[in-house]
């Protein structure tokens, strides 16, 4: 596995957590107050008025990492024991504060693998988003809608570096994240296990969302921006934005379509949800049709907070649209070194070579077939919210850890001299 150079990882780890507390100030307007009805989702508040750029647009420029959401264990899909509750009870939130305080106390700079967090408890105490039970807010139960029959069949037939007992013959047996190409869209807009940075740049007629890991979006602004004609597609889609009051609305279509079942690498698509985001479906094999589109809404709710909302609609894959909300917290001291993912990485080639060699040895009676492997654990839920009401029927949490496939194991790109797929 290769993620980035060790030095850049350490710089990001230390600098990213060092200024969280400074990002949450007493003057920061809170995103949404929890209502008396904990199942109700209030409308996005628009009382805060941001400054303007020299050319007159609302000024969203800054660095907006989303690591607090992951560190607090606010999952993408809601733990089912919360039911339709969007918000925690006070008792549950007190536990979330206590967990954050313990994590902060565990922070150390004495080793390369710094433990704990720094400033997380301040965010949990100050941000109303820390009362949320999930990122997903629609459907009301916080669960993804069922896949269509076509979507389900392609999902189950898909291949990637995360699937148990997967054999590898060629690059099309790996997903786009395994190969350092793209995390997919809208997957790239959700928290991962590391590299949470997001930076906004603005210029007349454009807004740019720079992502720390594998992606930069250059988005024209204006209601007269023409739609892209049928045909071209991109990993992050083609986006156009316009202002509705103080909210930036971004519409995206022409997202790279395809699935993970095809043997044509050019027809593979990235999953719209990546399993490195807490509690999404495993394996990174959800297909994307050419009808997929998103609507994103960015609203500054205070000088250091943006409420980000995204609705994803792909009628060939999901039986109905779904919507997620996240809070982006300003931290302009967060550093984003180069994400050196692909360069010098030989793991894709090594997986293919090892898989072919093992099958030859099995055929020759020199080795036993694989009946279990380290990727079995990815078939189970991997992240848990420690303050959710317990489910007496749930299996015990599995140990956290890396390895086994994708950027947790097979991530990387085959370099020159890649082996050829054998005849089928």
Q: What is the pLDDT along the chain (424 residues), one digit of tens a residue?
A: 334 433 344 344 444 444 444 444 433 444 466 788 999 999 999 999 999 999 999 999 999 999 999 999 999 999 999 999 999 999 999 999 999 999 999 887 766 667 888 899 999 999 999 999 999 999 999 999 999 999 999 999 999 999 998 999 999 999 999 999 999 999 999 998 888 899 999 999 999 999 999 989 999 999 889 888 888 999 999 999 999 999 999 999 999 999 999 999 899 999 999 999 999 999 999 999 999 999 999 999 999 999 999 999 999 999 999 999 999 999 999 999 888 887 777 889 999 999 999 999 999 999 999 888 888 888 888 889 999 999 887 766 655 543 333 344 443 332 222 333 333 3
Q: What is the pLDDT of residue 367?
A: 94
User: Strands of 198-203's sheet, edge to edge?
Assistant: 62-63, 198-203, 206-211, 215-220
Phi, psi of 147 (to 5 degrees): -75, 155
Q: Tell me, what's the pLDDT at 338?
A: 85
- pLDDT for the residue 32: 61
Grouping H, G, I as helix, E, B as strand and the rest as coil, residue 347 is: helix
Q: What is the pLDDT of residue 231?
A: 84
Tokens in use for 389?
A: 């009401």
pTM: 0.85
Structure tokens at 320: 């109905």
Give the pLDDT score at 58. 98
Q: Which residues of 386-422 are buried (b: 16+ CB within 10 A; e: fewer)?
A: ebbeeeeeeeeeeeeeeebbbbbbbbbbbeeeeeeee
């Amino acid at each position: 596995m290769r993620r980035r150079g060790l030095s850049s990882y350490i710089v990001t780890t230390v600098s990213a957590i060092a200024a969280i507390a400074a990002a949450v100030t007493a003057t920061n307007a809170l995103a949404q107050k929890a209502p008396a009805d904990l199942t109700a989702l209030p409308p996005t508040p628009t009382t805060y008025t941001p400054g303007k750029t020299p050319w007159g647009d609302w000024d969203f420029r800054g660095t907006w990492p989303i690591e607090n959401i992951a560190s607090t264990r606010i999952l993408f899909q809601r733990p089912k024991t919360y039911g339709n509750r969007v918000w925690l009870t006070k008792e549950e939130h007190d536990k979330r504060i206590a967990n954050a305080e313990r994590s902060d106390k565990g922070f150390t700079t004495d080793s390369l693998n710094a433990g704990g967090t720094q400033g997380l408890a301040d965010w949990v105490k100050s941000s109303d988003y820390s009362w949320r039970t999930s990122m997903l807010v629609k459907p009301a139960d916080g669960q993804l809608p069922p896949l269509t029959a076509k979507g389900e069949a392609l999902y189950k037939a898909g291949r990637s570096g995360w699937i148990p007992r997967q054999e590898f013959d060629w690059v099309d047996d790996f997903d786009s994240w395994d190969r350092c190409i793209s995390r997919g869209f809208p997957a790239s807009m959700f928290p991962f296990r590391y590299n949470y940075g997001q930076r906004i740049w603005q210029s007349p007629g454009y807004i740019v969302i720079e992502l720390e890991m594998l992606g930069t979006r250059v988005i024209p602004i204006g209601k007269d921006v023409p739609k892209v004609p049928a045909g071209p597609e991109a990993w992050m889609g083609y986006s156009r934005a316009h202002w509705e009051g103080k909210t930036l609305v971004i519409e995206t279509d022409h997202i790279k379509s395809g699935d993970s079942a095809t043997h044509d690498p050019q027809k593979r698509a990235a999953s719209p949800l990546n399993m490195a985001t807490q509690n999404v479906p495993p394996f990174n094999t959800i297909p994307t049709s050419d009808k997929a589109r998103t609507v994103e809404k960015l609203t500054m709710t205070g000088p250091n907070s943006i409420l980000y909302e995204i609705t994803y609609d792909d009628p060939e894959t999901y039986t109905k649209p779904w919507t997620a909300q996240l809070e982006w917290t300003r931290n302009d001291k967060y550093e984003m070194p180069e994400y050196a993912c692909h360069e010098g990485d030989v793991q894709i080639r090594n997986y293919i070579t090892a898989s072919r060699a093992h099958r030859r040895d099995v055929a020759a009676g020199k080795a036993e077939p694989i009946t279990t492997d380290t990727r079995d654990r990815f078939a189970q839920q991997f992240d848990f919210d420690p303050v959710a009401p317990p489910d007496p029927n749930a299996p015990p949490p599995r140990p956290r850890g890396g390895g086994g496939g994708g950027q947790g194991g097979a991530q990387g790109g085959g370099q020159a001299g890649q082996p050829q797929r054998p005849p089928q």
